């Protein structure tokens, strides 16, 4: 390799941690070469015969330069398009310390609560903020976007009133168009009839289970919905209200108006536009819905020492865990963005938010007056930030405004203008000048009511109730305080900048800094998702090239980048199958075969897609039971929609029978959906297309380097064979979208800005590096398996004794030999500075380890040393040397306070508790709370910051 080619390939060795250590590792595994290992692992009948047609690798500097050049094809306009997306000022302290900080963005979903107290605290702030502003007691810790939050609300009502067999749902005309679109998509397969109309004239009767309205609505108007809500309630229906958190700083809350659910996007609380995302949606509701609310709820509980501790509440209530009984499939959501929005509220506090909202309202009012003076008609008399101008010369205004790099919204001959936090009086004058020039007039200036008299907010909607009164929103005023608060929380959380996170099925690989950097550039972050196509050339290029790469990698022909998570990809893929069958006249193909080992989102997504789930058995060795599969395919032949399989299977094995399974489904007229969560074991060596599938999703936040963000963002694009391409989800912003193959996300390309991460990942690895990454993911897993298998039982391996990119360690035997459960081992790992692997999925009582290719041999060794050391601690219990109830595992994790406490009286040393191995002394990570009591918190559900009085009573 010459010097310059070497430079191009440099990133490959930065990303893959075990390059150079292969020989030593192969020896431990007992094979001679990586090729031999791969041959033993991936069946010959599905192996790719040629290299991926993806460009050669580029180095980090080249990539950044390329992305800079491409970004300049995006045009920076001032956007007044609104419709749920507003420019915002991300406080730099939040940008630098959260958005750009691996201590926050590399976290996993807080399943191991004792080492996640920081983000749990911040998400509790988010819930409190949403609950306060919307005036409803229960809020979840974010959803994917506003439009899907609407669909979740509709579905929640539908199931809540199921006994009454009502199927009609009313939606006001003036709800955002993308929300209406997603509602239709979601309603259709499950038999909900959406009725659009004007709420003021709607004939609501008891055939409606609910209604959805927007406040302020899409024209900007602040309607008085109180009597409408009463009518819906009188007909035993429920009301969901789309709303805007910034508006609610001034407006009477939805809760006070009687709404059962409030939802919307928290984007304008400091989260960049990013051409559609990622942003956090919120949903709050009344107490009655606390067991059916979709998404995650963070709740307050206590730890083993009686101290306050947070964790995800009612986890078994998390919808997708209910599998085919689920009413939502939300798994990955938007935690990182929820944290940013919450911090925005912490930073500004109630007074700051009110000032921002008042400035926006005053500017909007001044603009309306100026345009009226010029002789224009402002269609809405009431408004917060949005006005709709009618009767203007639209073509002329469009031409004049675009010349000034200004975007308005154009609908049915009227012009919408939405003011935001970034708008200045000078911007306002520019807008006024555009409208004046269109009439051949001049404007000299605009008058503001600087005292903030807001004549356009109707009396009923003037907010009198307080919000954000908790100290957390009233303390961190200086930047020093704010920076320290963010750091305080970060320090409580174990992220990839502490140690490896070997979560099976989750692929916690490196999220390289170079992949992240472009996200902060204005030419990527400040684009509105509904900006005219001519302004988004940079995004169009990334979207086109990334779609081609992903199609090539999956062995398919077309790709949709719309779904915002893996589970949404599943749902989108199943709708694609459904639409294909319907287009072929097969309206009754609605049975889907799903193996027992499938991830819970699979059956949950299938049910959302209107399908009937039939579960297929597994054999002793973990393989799909082909005989059972065949029998069920035959039994349901006439109605078979298809199957959903994960490959390699969720047990981490490449089943040789996969091709046969695909054939069986096709013979019976079905389609094969492949869950691509385990794609990290396939890339470059095989593909869903080669295996015989028809459609798959990819978790870009697993295989393709998007960070997990503590539970989102994510992206779950789907790739399909040519025959399914016409049925991919469309979007109202597509010129092609005439027939309704409905949208599954609010924005056409989901969380478009994070696509840059996967793009950068693919470009810097190139075809060669992508395949090498797969090889090392498999190498690392087999190496760890070899180190551990002498002391632990490994469940399921392939016929040659190898695993794929992950493997399952059986911990059930320790229950009888030592009274030790998987949870004890998971918590004890924290004392060794590690995050537990995936617990009890896909097999209860086990852990599933997935090292990924990014870890180096030293880290893999340390992790194995930790597990082996824990094994010897278990042995001490087994032999009676250690007490069965009072030992380092049962008491884990050990906090700093517990260890230094003067009344330490454990039957083992403090050193064994906190520094059980030499390496721990070099880099000790302290869990900030002791083991958390889950049931206590579930019995006493508190999911907002407790009032200060609740602390005071403890003292008394």
Using DSSP bridges, classify how beta strands 558-560 and 718-720 pair: parallel, antiparallel or unpaired: antiparallel
Measured from the CB atom, the residue of 320 and 776 that comes closer to ligand PLP is 320
Distance CA 518, CA 662 (A): 41
CB of 144 to ligand PLP, least distance (A): 9
Measured from the CB atom, the residue of 331 and 860 that comes closer to ligand PLP is 331
DSSP state of 93: H
β-sheet bridge partners, residue 809: 794, 847
Phi and psi of 323, rounded to 5°? 50, -125
The number of residues in the chain equals 956
DSSP state of 99: I
Measured from the CB atom, the residue of 97 and 564 that comes closer to ligand PLP is 564
Q: For residue 895, what are the CA distances in angstroms to 37, 247, 729, 868?
A: 42, 43, 49, 22
x/- map, 632-661, ligand PLP, by CB under 6 A? --------------x---x-----------
- Token pair 């928290």 is at which residue? 266
Q: Which of 518, 538, 710, 714 binds ligand PLP (CB under 6 A)?
A: 714
CB of 143 to ligand PLP, least distance (A): 12
Phi and psi of 791, rounded to 5°? -110, -10
Q: Which stretch binds ligand PLP (CB under 6 A): 354-362, 561-569, 720-728, 871-879?
A: 561-569
Helices (H), 235-334: 254-257
x/- map, 659-688, ligand PLP, by CB under 6 A? ----------------x-x-----------
* 565 forms part of the interface with ligand PLP (CB under 6 A): yes
Q: Which stretch binds ligand PLP (CB under 6 A): 419-427, 563-571, 788-796, 948-956?
A: 563-571
Distance CA 210, CA 39 (A): 57
Phi and psi of 808, rounded to 5°? -105, 130
CB of 18 to ligand PLP, least distance (A): 23
CB of 827 to ligand PLP, least distance (A): 23
CA dihedral 717, 722, 727, 732 (to 10 degrees): 60
CB of 601 to ligand PLP, least distance (A): 4
Phi and psi of 534, rounded to 5°? -65, -15
What residues numbered 53-112 form the site for ligand PLP, per CB under 6 A? none
| 729 touches 561 (CB < 8 A) | no
Q: Which of 186, 599, 763, 894 binds ligand PLP (CB under 6 A)?
A: 599
CB neighbours of residue 777 within 10 Å: 27
Distance CA 280, CA 340 (A): 9
Q: Which stretch binds ligand PLP (CB under 6 A): 338-346, 564-572, 577-585, 911-919?
A: 564-572
Distance CA 483, CA 339 (A): 14
Measured from the CB atom, the residue of 144 and 811 that comes closer to ligand PLP is 144
CB of 595 to ligand PLP, least distance (A): 11
DSSP state of 55: P
655: preceding bond cis by omega (within 30 degrees): no
Q: Which of 567, 604, 674, 706 binds ligand PLP (CB under 6 A)?
A: 567
Q: Which of 189, 350, 566, 916 binds ligand PLP (CB under 6 A)?
A: 566
β-sheet bridge partners, residue 618: 624
CB of 506 to ligand PLP, least distance (A): 6
C-alpha atoms less than 13 angstroms from C-alpha of 101 in its C-beta half-sphere = 21
Distance CA 265, CA 241 (A): 12
CB of 708 to ligand PLP, least distance (A): 9
Measured from the CB atom, the residue of 644 and 764 that comes closer to ligand PLP is 644
Phi and psi of 502, rounded to 5°? -95, 50
Show the tokens assigned to 393.
């010369």
Distance CA 183, CA 160 (A): 17
If you compute the radius of gyration of the chain from its CA atoms, what whole number of angstroms results?
Answer: 28
CB of 610 to ligand PLP, least distance (A): 19
CB of 903 to ligand PLP, least distance (A): 44
What residues numbered 272-331 form the site for ligand PLP, per CB under 6 A? 331
Measured from the CB atom, the residue of 600 and 916 that comes closer to ligand PLP is 600
CB of 680 to ligand PLP, least distance (A): 11
Measured from the CB atom, the residue of 211 and 843 that comes closer to ligand PLP is 843
Q: Which stretch binds ligand PLP (CB under 6 A): 284-292, 565-573, 899-907, 925-933?
A: 565-573
Residues of the chain by 3-state class (helix, strand, coil), percent to 5: 45, 15, 40
CB of 141 to ligand PLP, least distance (A): 14
Measured from the CB atom, the residue of 508 and 920 that comes closer to ligand PLP is 508
Measured from the CB atom, the residue of 221 and 329 that comes closer to ligand PLP is 329
Distance CA 475, CA 351 (A): 12
Q: DSSP per residue over 677-691, as a string?
A: GGGGGTTTT--HHHH
Number of residues near ligand PLP (by CB under 6 A): 15
Measured from the CB atom, the residue of 116 and 601 that comes closer to ligand PLP is 601
Measured from the CB atom, the residue of 505 and 576 that comes closer to ligand PLP is 505
Distance CA 870, CA 505 (A): 23
Exposure string of 441-472, with b = 16+ CB inside 10 Å and e = fewer, is eebeebebeeeeebebbeeebebeeebbebeb
What residues numbered 463-522 form the site for ligand PLP, per CB under 6 A? 505
Q: Which stretch binds ligand PLP (CB under 6 A): 185-193, 195-203, 562-570, 779-787?
A: 562-570
CB of 345 to ligand PLP, least distance (A): 26
Residue spans of beta strands (DSSP E) within 173-316 = 193-197, 208-215, 238-243, 261-265, 281-285, 298-303, 308-312
CB of 138 to ligand PLP, least distance (A): 22
Measured from the CB atom, the residue of 218 and 329 that comes closer to ligand PLP is 329
Q: Which of 122, 219, 231, 332 binds ligand PLP (CB under 6 A)?
A: 332
x/- map, 431-450, ligand PLP, by CB under 6 A? --------------------
| 237 touches 217 (CB < 8 A) | no
- By Cβ distance, which residue is nearest to ligand PLP? 566
371: preceding bond cis by omega (within 30 degrees): no
Residue spans of beta strands (DSSP E) within 216-332 = 238-243, 261-265, 281-285, 298-303, 308-312
Q: For residue 267, what are the CA distances in angstroms to 133, 344, 358, 889?
A: 15, 11, 18, 43
CB of 333 to ligand PLP, least distance (A): 8
CB of 611 to ligand PLP, least distance (A): 16
- Token pair 């992790």 is at which residue? 863
Measured from the CB atom, the residue of 414 and 678 that comes closer to ligand PLP is 678
Binding site for ligand PLP (CB under 6 A): 331-332, 505, 565-567, 599, 601, 646, 650, 675, 677, 699, 714, 716
């Amino acid at each position: 390799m010459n010097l310059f080619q070497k430079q191009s390939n440099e990133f490959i060795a930065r990303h893959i941690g075990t390059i150079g250590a292969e020989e030593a590792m192969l020896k431990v595994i007992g094979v001679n070469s990586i090729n031999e290992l791969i041959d033993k692992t991936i069946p010959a009948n599905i192996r790719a015969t040629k290299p991926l047609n993806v460009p050669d690798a580029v180095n980090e500097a080249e990539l950044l330069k390329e992305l800079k050049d491409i970004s300049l094809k995006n045009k920076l306009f001032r956007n007044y398009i609104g419709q749920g997306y507003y420019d915002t000022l991300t406080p730099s302290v939040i940008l630098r310390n959260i958005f750009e900080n691996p201590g926050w963005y590399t976290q996993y979903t807080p399943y191991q609560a004792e080492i996640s107290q920081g983000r749990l605290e911040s998400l509790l702030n988010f819930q409190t903020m949403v609950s306060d502003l919307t005036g409803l007691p229960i809020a979840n810790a974010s959803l994917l976007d506003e439009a899907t939050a609407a669909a979740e609300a509709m579905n929640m009502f539908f199931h809540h009133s199921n006994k009454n067999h009502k199927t009609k749902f009313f939606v006001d005309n003036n709800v955002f168009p993308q929300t209406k679109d997603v509602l239709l998509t979601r309603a259709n397969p499950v038999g909900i009839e959406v009725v659009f109309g004007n709420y003021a004239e709607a004939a609501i009767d008891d055939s409606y289970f609910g209604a959805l309205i927007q406040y302020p609505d899409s024209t900007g108007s602040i309607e008085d919905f109180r009597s409408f809500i009463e009518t819906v309630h009188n007909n035993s229906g429920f009301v969901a209200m789309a709303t805007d958190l910034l508006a609610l700083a001034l407006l009477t809350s939805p809760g006070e108006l009687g709404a059962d659910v409030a939802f919307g996007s928290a984007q304008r609380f400091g989260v960049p536009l990013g051409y559609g995302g990622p942003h956090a949606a919120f949903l709050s509701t009344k107490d009655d819905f606390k067991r059916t609310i979709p998404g995650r709820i963070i709740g307050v509980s206590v730890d083993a020492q009686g101290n306050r501790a947070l964790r995800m509440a009612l986890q078994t209530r998390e919808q997708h865990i209910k599998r085919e009984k689920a009413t939502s499939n939300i798994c990955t959501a938007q935690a990182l963005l929820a944290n940013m929005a919450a911090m925005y509220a912490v930073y500004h506090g109630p007074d700051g938010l009110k000032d921002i909202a008042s400035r926006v309202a005053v500017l909007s009012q001044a603009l309306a007056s100026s345009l009226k003076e010029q002789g224009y008609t402002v269609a809405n008399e009431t408004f917060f930030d949005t006005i709709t101008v009618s009767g203007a010369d639209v073509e002329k205004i469009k031409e004049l405004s675009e010349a000034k790099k200004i975007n308005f919204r154009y609908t049915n001959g009227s012009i919408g203008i939405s003011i935001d936090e970034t708008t200045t009086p000078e911007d306002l004058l520019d807008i006024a000048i555009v409208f004046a020039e269109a009439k051949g007039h001049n404007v000299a200036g605009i008058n503001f009511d600087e005292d903030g008299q807001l004549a356009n907010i109707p009396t009923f909607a003037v907010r009198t109730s307080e919000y954000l009164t908790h100290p957390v929103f009233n303390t961190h005023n200086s930047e020093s305080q704010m920076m320290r608060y963010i750091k305080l929380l970060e320090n409580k959380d174990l992220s990839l900048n502490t140690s490896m996170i070997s979560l099976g099925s989750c692929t916690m690989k490196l999220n390289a800094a170079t992949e992240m950097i472009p996200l902060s550039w204005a030419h990527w972050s400040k684009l509105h998702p509904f900006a005219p196509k001519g302004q988004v050339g940079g995004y169009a290029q990334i979207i086109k090239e990334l779609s081609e790469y992903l199609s090539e990698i999956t062995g398919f022909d077309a790709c949709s980048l719309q779904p915002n998570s893996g589970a949404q990809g599943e749902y989108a893929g199943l709708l694609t199958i459904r639409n294909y069958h319907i287009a072929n006249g097969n309206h009754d193909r609605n049975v889907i075969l799903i193996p027992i080992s499938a991830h819970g989102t699979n059956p949950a997504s299938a049910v959302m897609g209107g399908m009937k789930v039939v579960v297929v058995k597994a054999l002793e060795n973990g393989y799909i039971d082909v005989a059972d599969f065949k029998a069920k395919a035959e039994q349901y032949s006439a109605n078979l929609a298809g199957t959903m399989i994960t490959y390699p299977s969720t047990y981490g094995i490449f089943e040789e029978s996969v091709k046969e399974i695909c054939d069986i489904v096709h013979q019976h007229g079905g389609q094969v959906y492949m869950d691509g969560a385990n794609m990290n074991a396939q890339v470059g060596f095989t593909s869903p297309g080669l295996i015989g599938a028809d459609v798959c999703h990819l978790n870009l936040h697993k295989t393709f380097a998007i960070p997990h963000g503590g539970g989102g963002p994510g992206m779950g694009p789907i790739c399909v064979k040519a025959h399914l391409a016409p049925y991919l989800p469309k979007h109202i912003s597509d010129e092609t979208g005439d027939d309704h193959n409905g949208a599954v996300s609010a924005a056409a390309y989901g969380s478009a800005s994070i696509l840059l991460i996967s793009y950068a990942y693919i470009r810097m690895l190139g075809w060669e590096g992508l395949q090498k990454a797969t090889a090392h993911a498999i190498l690392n897993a087999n190496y760890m398996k070899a180190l551990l298998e002498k002391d632990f039982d490994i469940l399921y391996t392939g016929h040659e004794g190898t695993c794929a990119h992950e493997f399952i360690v059986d911990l059930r035997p320790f229950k009888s030999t030592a009274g030790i459960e998987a949870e004890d081992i998971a918590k004890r790992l924290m004392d060794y500075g590690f995050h537990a692997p995936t617990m009890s999925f896909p097999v209860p009582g086990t852990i599933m380890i997935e090292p990924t290719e990014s870890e180096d041999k030293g880290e893999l060794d340390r992790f194995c040393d930790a597990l082996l050391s824990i094994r010897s601690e278990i042995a001490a219990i087994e032999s009676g040397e250690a007490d069965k109830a009072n030992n380092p595992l049962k008491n884990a994790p050990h906090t700093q306070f517990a260890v230094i406490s003067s009344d330490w009286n454990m039957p083992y040393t403090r050193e064994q508790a906190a520094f059980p191995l030499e390496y721990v002394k070099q880099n000790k990570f302290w869990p900030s709370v002791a083991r958390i009591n889950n049931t206590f918190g579930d019995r006493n559900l508190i999911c907002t910051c407790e009032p200060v009085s609740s602390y005071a009573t403890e003292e008394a």
